[in-house]
Chains A and B, each alone.
Chain A
């Protein structure tokens, strides 16, 4: 199977946003902008960062690729493998569990027929349990891209949420607005 690796190219708007973050740091400290750039990269390139994307980030920052890999692998928000269209980042930590997060995660597994870390056959959803998202008063809750969906405390609400997501496109990133 022949595979062509497309050249990684950020949109002009994304590059402008990247330059804006780099400008926030003193001379010679441009590497500091690595996390915001990885967030931009993940939004630009389908919700995950491939080795090619990380190499591109290294090139932009004028640092070694390994410096990008070691950062991207430390922070759990960066997906290092392809993911579904919507990554369901469900909070699984104590306070949300007091209000039914465990049951919600079980229901998602059942309804979508996937385990943690897996993607549905149609490529629509990836289930990614995460730790406390600073929304403990409104749990059970989950995050998809930049948005929070809170108080999903019944099967009806979960069904409504999944139905809504099936028909939802991602928000345009702010730097393209």
Chain B
């Protein structure tokens, strides 16, 4: 069993209450930080830890924090991104539901480090039941003097609130989230200015993922240097992986970064192998937005090295033969799954979720959905494959926010690795649209 930083106590009965949480060492980091450290010292520890944002982009958290502007007399905000709508991702919901105080502790310690006196947790609207759990825990923390005025007699004040969304994937993008938190439509903002300078209510703001913030207490308690020893290379620490799809044990697993992918898929400690004794066909390792990889390339890199669960190893080979760790949503496909159908499903998702501000994204996602739909339903043309590639290229890099890229990559990668399967659909429409039909032919040779 690997080291558990986030989930050590997650199954302790009653851990969602302040009393039990404190009995297991809860809120120690708040005392340590507020009473014995300056805010700058907390930021330094987080920098030393090498912690990287767990929301998908993997940007170093300490560095992000040090970019926060600090003009005199202007409030600063910490906003926790609990939007969690990336298909395949369910770790944050699971974590908050089971151990709400762990996030609240992270919010207090992090807010102190950033000099924020009001902070928000923005949670997707579908998770109102989790919002209730968080609000209950927050009320307990206020009653215990861990929130509100003069926390633990230190003179530091912090108010913490939970705000629900309304069902829009795009509100996970940090500037759309801020718009939504201000009570508007979730249209991403043009950058610059970045949130670190003008964020919530035009004030300097840091937006961090739930898991990122929940990692801070351990770093404060044990030092950044200790945290940096966990994991591998620049992928320090542990990561929550949401494992879904055709495996024996779907669920959330905390891993030390660097576990071999093969072990993660087949060990009983984690996914427990492919269900029903079937063969592995493909994996989307970091949420629906990252490239899909066929079985051979998820287990080994193009140069024959073991693929590891880390930022660097999963992206080894770039988009030619690699993918990304992303939000750690590990979606596993068995041999009976149709890649064309899955790609169409994701394209429909992105079309549905595009906010519509930029034409390449609004129109391009619609085109991709339409073309993939006709291939899946037996009306595809030979040129459609190149058309899809060309549309995906026209979206990529030409939009206000990264949703456009997120929509383009799954399509481009599916065609790159499973072109034969698309061609089979187009050339054998009758066979391909028969109930339960799946392409079982040769997979494409992969060139590094």
Q: Which residues of A approach B to under 8 Å, CB–CB? A: 24, 26, 29, 31-36, 38-39, 70-71, 74-78, 89, 92-95, 97-99, 130-139, 143, 146-148, 174
- Does B352 have its Cβ within 8 Å of any Cβ on chain A? yes
Is A75 touching B88 in the complex (CB atoms < 8 A)? Answer: no
Beyond A24-B161, A94-B342, A136-B242, whether A131 also contacts B85 by CB under 8 A is: yes
Is B92 touching A98 in the complex (CB atoms < 8 A)? Answer: no
Is B349 touching A136 in the complex (CB atoms < 8 A)? Answer: no
Stretch at the interface among B125-133, B255-263, B424-432: B125-133
Which residues of A are found within 8 Å of B337, using beta-carbon distances?
98
Is A135 touching B183 in the complex (CB atoms < 8 A)? Answer: no
Beyond A77-B166, A136-B329, whether A35 also contacts B125 by CB under 8 A is: yes
Which residues of B are found within 8 Å of A133, using beta-carbon distances?
126
Question: With the chains together, A158 CA to B407 CA distance in Å?
Answer: 32
- Does B181 have its Cβ within 8 Å of any Cβ on chain A? yes
Which residues of B are found within 8 Å of A34, using beta-carbon distances?
183
CB < 8 Å neighbour of A136 from B87, B118, B165, B341: B87
Stretch at the interface among B216-224, B228-236, B244-252, B361-369: B244-252
Is A137 touching B251 in the complex (CB atoms < 8 A)? Answer: yes
Which residues of A are found within 8 Å of B392, using beta-carbon distances?
none
Beyond A35-B180, A137-B250, whether A77 also contacts B125 by CB under 8 A is: yes
Give B152-169 as 1s and 0s: 1 = Cβ < 8 Å from A's Cβ atoms.
000000010101111111
Question: With the chains together, A174 CA to B163 CA distance in Å?
Answer: 16
Which residues of A are found within 8 Å of B346, using beta-carbon distances?
93-94
CB < 8 Å neighbour of B87 from A71, A131, A147, A174: A131
Question: With the chains together, A95 CA to B129 CA distance in Å?
Answer: 22
CB < 8 Å neighbour of B168 from A26, A75, A135: A75
Question: With the chains together, A132 CA to B7 CA distance in Å?
Answer: 24
Output the residue of B182, B244, B246, B251 with the most chain A CB within 10 A. B244
For A171, the closest partner residue in chain B by CB is B129
Which residues of B are found within 8 Å of A137, using beta-carbon distances?
90, 242-244, 250-252
For A68, the closest partner residue in chain B by CB is B183
Question: With the chains together, A89 CA to B353 CA distance in Å?
Answer: 16
CB distance from B37 to the nearest CB of A (A): 28
Name B173-224 residues within 8 Å CB distance of A: 180-186, 201
Is B244 touching A71 in the complex (CB atoms < 8 A)? Answer: no
Which 3 pairs between the two chains have the least Cβ-Cβ distance?
A75-B166, A77-B167, A137-B250
Is A94 touching B250 in the complex (CB atoms < 8 A)? Answer: no
For A76, the closest partner residue in chain B by CB is B167
- Does B109 have its Cβ within 8 Å of any Cβ on chain A? no
Beyond A32-B163, A78-B166, whether A136 also contacts B90 by CB under 8 A is: yes
Beyond A26-B201, A70-B185, A133-B126, whether A38 also contacts B166 by CB under 8 A is: yes
Which residues of B are found within 8 Å of A94, using beta-carbon distances?
87-88, 288, 331, 342, 345-346, 349
- Does B373 have its Cβ within 8 Å of any Cβ on chain A? no
CB distance from B413 to the nearest CB of A (A): 14
Is A29 touching B250 in the complex (CB atoms < 8 A)? Answer: no
Which residues of A are found within 8 Å of B164, using beta-carbon distances?
35-36, 39
CB distance from B234 to the nearest CB of A (A): 28
Is B244 touching A98 in the complex (CB atoms < 8 A)? Answer: yes
Is A138 touching B166 in the complex (CB atoms < 8 A)? Answer: no
- Does B124 have its Cβ within 8 Å of any Cβ on chain A? yes
Which residues of A are found within 8 Å of B88, using beta-carbon distances?
94-95, 132, 136
CB distance from B35 to the nearest CB of A (A): 28
Question: With the chains together, A131 CA to B247 CA distance in Å?
Answer: 21
Is B87 touching A93 in the complex (CB atoms < 8 A)? Answer: yes
What 17 new A-B contacts, CB under 8 Å, besides A32-B181, A76-B166, A139-B244? A33-B183, A75-B166, A78-B166, A93-B345, A94-B345, A95-B244, A98-B332, A131-B352, A132-B88, A132-B89, A132-B349, A134-B127, A136-B87, A136-B89, A136-B250, A137-B242, A137-B243
For A78, the closest partner residue in chain B by CB is B166
Is A75 touching B125 in the complex (CB atoms < 8 A)? Answer: yes
